[in-house]
Structure 1
Amino acid sequence: MIDRTTSNIPRRILALRSIFSSNRAYREFEERFRYLLERRRTEIDADTVAEARCIALIGASGSGKTTAIRHMIATRPDLVLGDPVSGRLDVASLPVPTPATLKFVGQTTLAALGFQLQRERTAQTIWDMVKGHLHERRTLFLHYDEAQDLATHQTPKEMTSVVNTLKSLMQHPVWPVGLILTGTAELKTIINHDAQLARRIYPIELPRLDLVFDAARALRLLQLYAERAGLIAGAEVTTTEFAARLIHASAREFGLLIELVIAALEEAMLTEAEILQTGHFTAMFRKRAGCIDGLNPFVASDFEHIDSRRLLDLGGDA
């Protein structure tokens, strides 16, 4: 029996957020990572040094790419993520810092590997240290989230230095390290900057949802989450028209759609409802975006013309 008291709502929401919903792009990503991981381990066992490879997972904000990499790393029992005795760290994961200068990214990478610089060093020295610590910790993959920031405000010369540094990690003569880059479409700028880098990358793009073709899938997810929350999905939120409204409200992004469904379920819980209705989505979006109902995709008749990412839209000029 589900505890429906309002004091238990945070725990119920946390349980919903722990659900992971897979999709085609994630399965492709997981399969590619598994192959590269097995290949790398085989090379190590054979005492062979071979050039590593990179996976680039590309998607808009809200597509679910960060959740995907976190889930994959957390659910692979064969990954060692910080052995207290050996110090082994199969995958080191970190967001690209701001500003994304080559030197600062190197410092942040060292910190993710458990080493803090005590005095000033040159960028070249820092990256030499990064490579040494990757070897010492037996790191197989280095993951940079928001990797598109590596290209932000970079001159052509600086971009070339970034690309050369990434290649040098995969081409290290003693301990080559595979890369995982997750980021928005701007990440393509880095990938396509250098043909030698591009040929070492397996690109996977998270597609946007389609109002028609993904409607049934959106409804299945809605009903799944409602069931896990102990609520009934009302008839009005299980129509293809409502699915189109939900997909548009989520800016056609998979991860954001799930986020909105959970937020609507929370709204229903707060009102102690047992049936999830359109009104819960309407109230949730109103709070989330701060918009008038005429610009709420769960209310407006011409919802497809609404910019669902825009906040505090009162219908006037920006």
Structure 2
Amino acid sequence: MSDAHLQLIGEQIADLQAHFVRHEGFRRLEEDFRLLRHRREADIKAGRSREVRGIAVIGASGSGKTTAVDRLLRNAASVVKADPDHRAIISLRVPSPATVKYVGQTILRGLGYPVNGRRESWYVWNLVRYQLKERQTLFLHLDEAQDLAAKGTERERQSVVNLLKSLMQDPDWPICLVLSGTGELADILNFDPQLGRRFQPIRFEPISELADLAKVRDLLSAYIGKTVLAVDPDIESDAFGTRLVHAAANEFGLVIEIAIAAIEVALLRRATTLTVADFAGAFRRRAGCIDGLNPFVAENFRRIDPRELLAEEDRIR
């Protein structure tokens, strides 16, 4: 296969990966975020400084929460009015190890501030608060936020909770927090009722093969429609939709990933029609499995754990 053809396919797949389909979870997230933004901007305009609220986006790996938050913040950055030297929105991934000091240093780096690793934790966080105000930051997004206190002691978890509350309660410049993470994030928020009540939770629920097959078909159509591929009728059946939902571990984001991977398989074989075999090939490449453990091939596909890589047949018999 020529390099020119591979380049063309690479560009098509990159465009598909950049495509975003608005869905119920995203619309709710966007509405809550806009309300918080307008409240904060109104307070700033009126010279008020009061405690703010935050948003907690919770979902399993592959649910699409990170993609949704990234899209939200990119859209918001284009409309938030701020001086070019300011950073109205900061988005960071919680570092590992997620110590209080290291999280503060990561925020400072995100603000473009040089960090001296020898400084004490209290000094680092005083700098964080000062720099957030100087940069006129309105929102701080922390992805993989469940790692903030995943392995810490109760005392360390309380320290994290206190820091989050202090950012939202800062008398000079309160910060609206957007936290995204897996189900363990709820444990952090529930650890302290005073923190939990400050957050609006948005859960990206698993999709259901009973209730969501129509949504899955619409999603497939949205992505396939951006290609020149025709669709095999079998892909439009409920039986196929059920297999796809299972292969994606009932997660919205994984449905999209598998669909794009199947399109890539079809394009690589220079096909004109997207078939079930392309989805089987995509899952085979994704999981490194034999056909007996491929949800698009195996007769008893429900016994298969779709998240397991390089699975062996004798382990699930």
Instruction: Give the TM-score band, short-chain normalised.
Output: over 0.9
Aligned mates of 2:116, 2:223 — CA distance in 1? 48
Deviations 1:275-297 (A, max 9, x none): 00011011111111011111100
Deviations 1:72-99 (A, max 9, x none): 1112331258x54xx2111101000000
Aligned counterpart, 1:126 = 124
Q: Residues 134 and 304 of structure 1: is their aligned pair in 2 closer, same or farther, counting only changes over 3 Å?
A: same
Deviations 1:143-179 (A, max 9, x none): 0000000021110000000000000000001000000
Q: Decide whether the 8 Å contact of 1:55 with 1:203 is kept in 2.
A: yes
Deviation, structure 1 residue 302: 1.5
Aligned counterpart, 1:74 = 74
Deviation, structure 1 residue 239: 0.4
Aligned counterpart, 1:53 = 53
Q: What amino acid does structure 2 have at the position aligned with 1:278?
A: V
How do residues 155-170 of structure 1 correspond to structure 2 at under 5 angstroms?
155-170=153-168
Aligned counterpart, 1:98 = 96
Query: For 1:307, what is the secondary structure of its paired residue?
Result: coil
Q: Decide whether the 8 Å contact of 1:80 with 1:88 is kept in 2.
A: no
Mean alpha-carbon deviation: is it higher for 227-236 or for 262-271? 227-236
Q: What amino acid does structure 2 have at the position aligned with 1:248?
A: H
Deviation, structure 1 residue 116: 1.8
Residue 233 of structure 1, aligned match among 231, 234, 244 = 231
Q: CA RMSD in A?
A: 1.4
Do structure 1's residue 44 and structure 2's residue 44 form an aligned pair? yes
Aligned counterpart, 2:26 = 26
Q: What amino acid does structure 1 have at the position aligned with 2:13?
A: I
Q: Which runs of 5+ in 1 are unaligned?
A: none
Aligned mates of 1:305, 1:35 — CA distance in 2? 44
Deviations 1:10-50 (A, max 9, x none): 11011111111122111111100000000000000000011
Deviation, structure 1 residue 204: 0.6
Aligned mates of 2:279, 2:176 — CA distance in 1? 42
Q: What amino acid does structure 2 have at the position aligned with 1:250?
A: A
Aligned mates of 2:273, 2:40 — CA distance in 1? 50
Mean alpha-carbon deviation: is it higher for 114-123 or for 234-243? 114-123
Q: What amino acid does structure 2 have at the position aligned with 1:28?
A: R
Residue 262 of structure 2, aligned match among 249, 261, 264 = 264
Deviation, structure 1 residue 317: 3.3
Query: For 1:258, what is the secondary structure of its paired residue?
Result: helix
Residue 217 of structure 1, aligned match among 215, 228, 242 = 215
Q: Decide whether the 8 Å contact of 1:57 with 1:180 is kept in 2.
A: yes
Aligned mates of 1:18, 1:283 — CA distance in 2? 22
Q: What amino acid does structure 2 have at the position aligned with 1:78?
A: V
Query: For 1:143, what is the secondary structure of its paired residue?
Result: strand
Residue 138 of structure 1, aligned match among 136, 156, 160 = 136
Q: Decide whether the 8 Å contact of 1:210 with 1:252 is kept in 2.
A: yes
How do residues 145-224 of structure 1 correspond to structure 2 at under 5 angstroms?
145-224=143-222
Aligned counterpart, 1:9 = 9
Query: For 1:228, what is the secondary structure of its paired residue?
Result: coil
Aligned counterpart, 2:87 = 89
Deviation, structure 1 residue 124: 1.1
Mean alpha-carbon deviation: is it higher for 243-252 or for 18-27? 18-27
Do structure 1's residue 64 and structure 2's residue 70 form an aligned pair? no
Aligned mates of 1:66, 1:139 — CA distance in 2? 21
Aligned counterpart, 1:274 = 272
Deviation, structure 1 residue 7: 3.2
Q: TM-score, normalised by structure 2?
A: 0.96
Q: TM-score, normalised by structure 1?
A: 0.95
Deviation, structure 1 residue 316: 2.7
Aligned counterpart, 1:305 = 303
Mean alpha-carbon deviation: is it higher for 214-223 or for 269-278? 214-223
Aligned mates of 2:268, 2:208 — CA distance in 1? 31
Aligned mates of 2:62, 2:121 — CA distance in 1? 33
Deviations 1:247-301 (A, max 9, x none): 1101111111101000000000000001000110111111110111111000111
Aligned counterpart, 2:282 = 284
Aligned mates of 2:103, 2:75 — CA distance in 1? 27
Identity of aligned residues (%): 46
Query: For 2:141, what is the secondary structure of its paired residue?
Result: strand
Deviation, structure 1 residue 118: 2.9
Deviation, structure 1 residue 125: 1.0
Aligned mates of 1:5, 1:223 — CA distance in 2? 24
Name whichever structure is richer in helix by fraction.
Answer: 2
Deviation, structure 1 residue 6: 3.9
Q: Decide whether the 8 Å contact of 1:80 with 1:89 is kept in 2.
A: no
Query: For 2:178, what is the secondary structure of its paired residue?
Result: strand
Aligned counterpart, 1:252 = 250
Query: For 2:31, what is the secondary structure of its paired residue?
Result: helix
